[in-house]
Amino acid sequence: MSYTSELLKRAIARSPGEPEFHQALREVVETLGPVFEKRPEYVRWKVLDRLIEPERLISFRVPWVDGKGDVQVNRGYRVQYNSAIGPYKGGIRFHPTVSAGVIKFLGFEQTLKNGLTGLPLGGGKGGADFDPKGKSDTEVLAFCQSFINELYRHIGPDTDVPAGDIGVGAREVGYMVGQYKRLTGNLPGGVFTGKAPSYGGSLGRPQATGYGLVYLMEDLFRRKGQSFEGKKVVISGAGNVAIHAAEKVLQLGGVPVTVSDSGGYIYDAGGLDVALLKEIKFNRKERLTAYKEAKPSSEYKAGGMVWEVPCDVALPCATQNELPKAGAEALVKNGCKAVGEGANMPSTPEAVEIFQKNGLIYAPGKAANAGGVSVSALEMSQNSMRQGWSFEQVDSALQGIMKGIVKQITQAAEAYGQPDNLVLGANIAGFLRVADAMMGQGVV
Ligand code: NDP
Ligand code: 2IT
């Protein structure tokens, strides 16, 4: 059995019941074989054996009192995955599906993603199996405060810097910053990113993941003599990443036609009304059915997959494994030519195989959605320097970072003889950056 197959078998056996983590490991480890042929020192020093094992996994009780006065108990996590190139960095997710395995898959992906950005960021991720849906503002506040009552002792501006993810936006980050400051005697609020601009948040951070995704795809198109102009774009999700991706597609002349939430999807053939979407989702926090009510010319489909809508480009921006084999088959059948992942691991392995076999441009999440964490790094810089940069300054830096990622992943794919395989390119380029930093620091 090869080195990578044996390593994978061992890693899976020692983390039973964590299918998402196994999937993320398999997808990366299986592509790294050629690296070990060129660089046997990595095998001798067991760099990958060490890298796949998180430095630390913290799991804790989160007790809180709901609006009815009943006691609730949730479970919180933080995985401090790898600190070879900087402080642990990655978001916090509040969703009922959060488990140790989900947090480990996200932390592992984050470690390689952060490596790809070229910025001084280690990898981490956290969250809780708390469901924010239907909770009042004061219930969310109570939960965030209890979550931080434990987490505060493990994080800090130079050790571990959380941000948002599914179910966690500027409101939740703000509540966590407030509690962190009370507990630590007013240490700088810079320990979180994704803050509101009035207390140190970077302009451009809310937009960064969605915009970055579209910048990266635009650069890949440009290399093939194409652009977003006139392209019909199917987007899943209706949160931070999805809505900002739709906004940037429109700005670049494309036509975003769908968004979805866990209830169903909107199809708006003439192009989405992004201002209306923001009002419904960000301000009123309502379901997508409200879009159909406000714009009766659109269609709302309960259930179903957005992937059944014919398009040129698909941007999955909701959650892991939301794009299964049947979705990939429908996309290919209807003529889709490119897939860019705004979410983390949204395509199943079977779907990825279909994209690759059919020659689609396929940009995996760890490269395509790295814009968010990149602007988080810019927010950290601004906080350290006690500065606030303009939106234009941040947006222009983001464009440069996304171009840098495209360059790195395409160069790695070419160097390893598969120029169109961006999965291979992203995995190898991300791995090399973290691996070299680990090698330089001894056996850590
Ligand atoms: P939000 O909470 O803002 O939005 C999530 C959206 O996805 C909602 O519309 C939600 O619908 C939908 N969704 C979530 N889980 C499911 C599910 N199990 N089934 C169906 N729909 C679901 O999150 P973000 O936009 O921030 O994150 C979206 C994805 O992007 C995630 O994979 C995240 O890890 C990734 N990402 C986020 C970054 C960021 O900066 N925020 C950075 C890089 C990646 P509903 O409301 O009905 O649950
Ligand atoms: O998955 C991700 O990259 C994020 N949720 C953003 C992490 C961050 O620290 O900004």
User: What is residue 189's predicted lDDT score, i.e. its pLDDT?
Assistant: 61
Q: How many whole angstroms separate alpha carbon 72 and alpha carbon 352?
A: 40
Q: Where are the domains of the chain?
A: 3-187, 208-359
169 lines ligand 2 (CB under 6 A): no
3-187, superfamily in CATH?
Leucine Dehydrogenase, chain A, domain 1 (3.40.50.10860)
Nearest CA to ligand 1 atom 5: 239
Q: How many whole angstroms separate alpha carbon 173 and alpha carbon 360?
A: 37
The ligand 1 site (C-beta within 6 Å) comprises 164-167, 209, 237-242, 261-263, 317-319, 342-344, 369, 372
Task: With beta carbons less than 8 A apart as the criterion, state whether 300 and 273 touch.
Answer: no
Question: Tens digits of per-residue pLDDT, 191-224?
Answer: 999 999 999 999 999 999 999 999 999 999 999 9
Cα-to-chain-centroid distance, residue 357? 25
Distance from the CA of 6 to the center of ligand 2, in angstroms? 31
User: What is residue 187's predicted lDDT score, i.e. its pLDDT?
Assistant: 67
- What is the b/e burial string over 175-199, where b = at least 16 CB atoms within 10 angstroms of the residue's CB? bbbbbbbeeeeeeebbbbbbbeeee
Tokens of 106: 């996200």
**Among all residues, which ones are annotated catalytic?**
125
Distance from the CA of 318 to the center of ligand 1, in angstroms? 4
379 lines ligand 2 (CB under 6 A): no
User: For strand 56-65 and strand 71-82, is the pairing parallel, antiparallel, or unpaired?
Assistant: antiparallel
Cα distances (angstroms) measured from residue 56 to each of 100, 122, 125, 126, 133: 12, 13, 11, 12, 30
Nearest CA to ligand 2 atom 4: 91
User: What is residue 1's predicted lDDT score, i.e. its pLDDT?
Assistant: 84
User: What is residue 287's predicted lDDT score, i.e. its pLDDT?
Assistant: 96
Cα-to-chain-centroid distance, residue 235? 15
Q: How many whole angstroms separate alpha carbon 60 and alpha carbon 186?
A: 24
121 lines ligand 2 (CB under 6 A): no
Task: With beta carbons less than 8 A apart as the criterion, state whether 126 and 106 touch.
Answer: no
Give the pLDDT of the chain (444 residues) as one tens digit per residue. Answer: 899 999 999 999 999 999 999 999 999 999 999 999 999 999 999 999 999 999 999 999 999 999 999 999 999 999 999 999 999 999 999 999 999 999 999 999 999 999 999 999 999 999 999 999 999 999 999 999 999 999 999 999 999 999 999 999 999 999 999 999 999 987 666 799 999 999 999 999 999 999 999 999 999 999 999 999 999 999 999 999 999 999 999 999 999 999 999 999 999 999 999 999 999 999 999 999 999 999 999 999 999 899 999 999 999 999 999 999 999 999 999 999 999 999 999 999 999 999 999 999 999 999 999 999 999 999 999 999 999 999 999 999 999 999 999 999 999 999 999 999 999 999 999 999 999 999 999 999
Single pTM value for the model: 0.98
CATH architecture of 208-359: 3-Layer(aba) Sandwich (3.40)
Distance from the CA of 114 to the center of ligand 2, in angstroms? 9
Distance from the CA of 434 to the center of ligand 2, in angstroms? 17
User: What is residue 185's predicted lDDT score, i.e. its pLDDT?
Assistant: 87
Domains 3-187 and 208-359 share a fold: yes
Counting ligand 1 atoms within 8 A of each CB, the residue from 130, 165, 394 with the most, and so the one to mutate, is 165
Spatial CB neighbours of 75, under 8 Å, sequence gap ≥ 6: 59, 60, 61, 62, 128, 129
